[in-house]
Structures are given as structure tokens and as C-alpha cells.
Amino acid sequence: MRLLKTALVAGALAVLSVTTIAAYAQDTKIGFIVKQPEEPWFQDEWKFADQAAKEKGFTLVKIGAEDGEKLMSAIDNLGAQGAQGFIVCTPDVKLGPGIVAKAAANNLKLMTVDDRLVGADGKALEDVPHMGISATKIGEAVGQAIVDEMKARGWKADEVGAIRVSYDQLPTAVDRVEGAISVLKANGFKAENIFDAPQAKTDTEAALNAATVVLNAHAEIKKWVSFGLNDEAVLGAVRASESVGIPADSVIGVGIGGADSAINEFKKPTATGFVGTVIISPKRHGYETALNMYDWVASNKEPEKLILTSGALAKRDDYQKVRQGLGIE
Ligand code: GLA
């Protein structure tokens, strides 16, 4: 009798687990958390992640988390909703070990995008799959675009100041600006003509404030170039130059991104000091990471540990073509 009961229970359990698996496959739920939801780059990432969700039939839960506290509760929230994994661009890379622990406690698979997590020693957490841009290379492309424009305008390096809009707590930000600086220096720019403008946040307003301090401190310099983490940083420096009365043809700013912040600038009837941007791909960062996470959850296929994406320079006159080439138009 007891044996029979055991067999019945086992059979029932087997049926139950089959239905559980079936339901599980249908209800794949993936989180996509970003640090700055209002920034066009992140809006675009979400847009392309949505596209992956539609194609594969999973649920995408989009959450903005501007600080660590919001991020931690977002992860708990995903766990409570029965999500199986999430992609995150963290507001602070130093939260790395905490994020890993929170994900594990909620039984969630974790992949990062854009900003790579670091441990207590400041080194990247290499076990967490990550997709980011090839920051140094893209920074070099920014530097080259600036140098080319200086040559086209007949500027001499020693009469020009450079605003390094910086956010040095973020490794990818350091790699990007240092990439640009290496090219400037290789083309005759002196280190003492490069001025640091540390931004408190990675948005245009914070960059404007930081750049204004530099411009006011060096009113004797009449020609300026500028670079930074993203388009918002460079747009802040360009707005600062306008507000202190420097004409557009005395400013060369080259950003990174190529989302609406840059495109709207290119669409202005007259050219500003924002000369170009290295367009990176929100499609790869949004669509592909979402797909990678889906494959991991649904087919147990773990993403590559590190995927680095490239960029392409675009200016006012050719940005549409460049965007089409990247499949983001
Ligand atoms: C960082 C920046 C964003 C964007 C991404 C691209 O997260 O803050 O603006 O440039 O990198 O990876």
C-alpha cells in the first residue's frame, strides 16, 4: 500500500514538474535595468531590447535605477515577480559584488551592459558576462576626428585648449577620454593645454557646469576642443562655450553615442561647436544582450564573458548614412 502511494506521489510530481517546465518556458521574464532612463542612449537600448522580447515572446521588465538603493530593490522586485534574469547598466560600478550577491539571492542570471562591474580591488568582475564599447579605440576615433577638424580649420595645437569632461570613477569613461588625449598628444597637443572638467553626474547640465569653470579660468584661450564620456558630456561643454560667448567656429566638440541628443544638434539650422559623434550601436547593446539573456534562460546557453562593440564617426552631413550602415535607422 505504502509502495503504491509512493509511486502515485512520484507520478503526480513528475506530471507537475512537466507542467511547471512548460509554464516556465512560456513565462520567461527578463529585466533590463538602466542607470539613466531619460538619456536617449538608454531609451534606444530599451527599444531594441523590446524588439527582441517581441520576436522571442518573452516579457521584458524595464526599470530605471539612478542609485544603488533603487537598483537593489529593483533586483528584489524582479526576483519577487518570478523573473529568471536581468541585464543591467549600473549607476555605480563599485556596487559590483553587491549586485552579484543580490542576483544570486534572487536566483537571477546576470549580465551587464555599458558599464562593467568592478570588485573591491577596482578590477573588473570577469565572471559576469558583459557587453561594452571598445572604449579606448572609440576615444582614439574621437581624438582623430578632433585633430582632422583642427587641420581643416588651420589651427595650431599650441593655441588651442582642450576640455576633458571627466567622470573618472567610471573606467570606460577614463578609457574613452584617455584614448582621445593620446591622439591629441601624438599630434602636438601639450599636456598643460588639456584641462580636466569633472562632472558630478553624467548628464549635459553637470558637464555644462564643469566646463564653465574651465572656460572662466582660462579666458585667454580663444579656441577650444572638447571630448568626454558621451554626447551629453560634449554637448555640456559646447553649451558652456556658447554661454561665455565663444563663437561656434572656435569650438570643436566630438561626442560618443549618436542617439537623439546628437542627432537633434545636427538638425539645427546652423552648425554649432558640436562637430561630430562616434555613433555606437544601441541595437547591439539592447537587442543582442536581451537575446543573449533569453538564450541563457531558455536554453542554458551562457553568453560570452566579454563582448566589445565598435563605433563609426558621423557628422552633420553624413549621420543618416552612418546610422543606416549600423542598422539603427
Ligand atoms: C556609458 C555612458 C552612456 C553610453 C554607454 C555606452 O554607460 O554613460 O552614455 O555611452 O556607456 O556603452
Closest CA to 134 of 99, 88, 171: 171
For residue 285, the ligand 1 atom closest to its alpha carbon is: 12
CA distances from 282 to 48, 186, 288 (A): 7, 31, 9
Identify the pLDDT of residue 327. 83
Ligand 1 centroid–CA 221 distance in Å is 30
Mean pLDDT, residues 138-165: 98
Tell me the pLDDT tens digit for each residue of 207-233. 999 999 999 999 999 999 999 999 999
User: Does 277 have pLDDT greater than 80?
Assistant: yes
Higher pLDDT, 13 or 234: 234
Q: Which amino acid residue places its CA nearest to atom 10 of ligand 1?
A: 230
In this predicted structure, the answer to whether residue 18 has a pLDDT above a threshold of 60 is no
What is the pLDDT at residue 328?
81
pLDDT (0 to 100) of residue 329: 72
Which residue(s) pair with 226 in the sheet? Answer: 163, 253
**From the CA of 234, how far away is ligand 1's center (Å)?**
13
- The arithmetic mean of pLDDT across residues 238-259, rounded, is 98
DSSP string, 58-104: -EEEEEE--SHHHHHHHHHHHHHTT--EEEE--S-GGGHHHHHHHHH
* Residue 24 predicted with pLDDT over 90: no
Reported as a single tens digit per residue, the pLDDT across 48-84 is 999 999 999 999 999 999 999 999 999 999 999 999 9
Ligand 1 near 28 CB (within 6 A)? no
pLDDT band, very low/low/confident/very high, at 5 (cuts 50, 70, 90): low
Residue 203 has pLDDT above 60, yes or no: yes
Query: Is pLDDT of 14 > 60?
Result: no
**Residue with cell string 512520484:** 10
Please provide the average confidence, as pLDDT, over all residues in the chain: 93
Residue 229 vs residue 12, higher pLDDT:
229
Cα separation, 191 vs 62, in Å, equals 43
| pLDDT > 70: percent of the chain | 92
What is the rounded CA–CA span in Å between residue 238 and residue 275? 10
Ligand 1 pocket check for 41: Cβ under 6 Å: yes
Give residues with Cβ within 8 angstroms of 2, minimum separation 6. Answer: none
Residue 197 predicted with pLDDT over 50: yes
Asked if residue 133 has its Cβ within 6 Å of ligand 1, the reply is: yes
Shortest-distance Cα residue to atom 9 of ligand 1: 230
Nearest atom (ligand 1) to Cα of 167: 8
CA 232 – CA 68 distance, rounded (Å): 22
| Burial bucket for residue 192 (CB in 10 Å: 0-12, 13-18, 19+) | exposed
Distance 114 CA to ligand 1 centre (A): 5
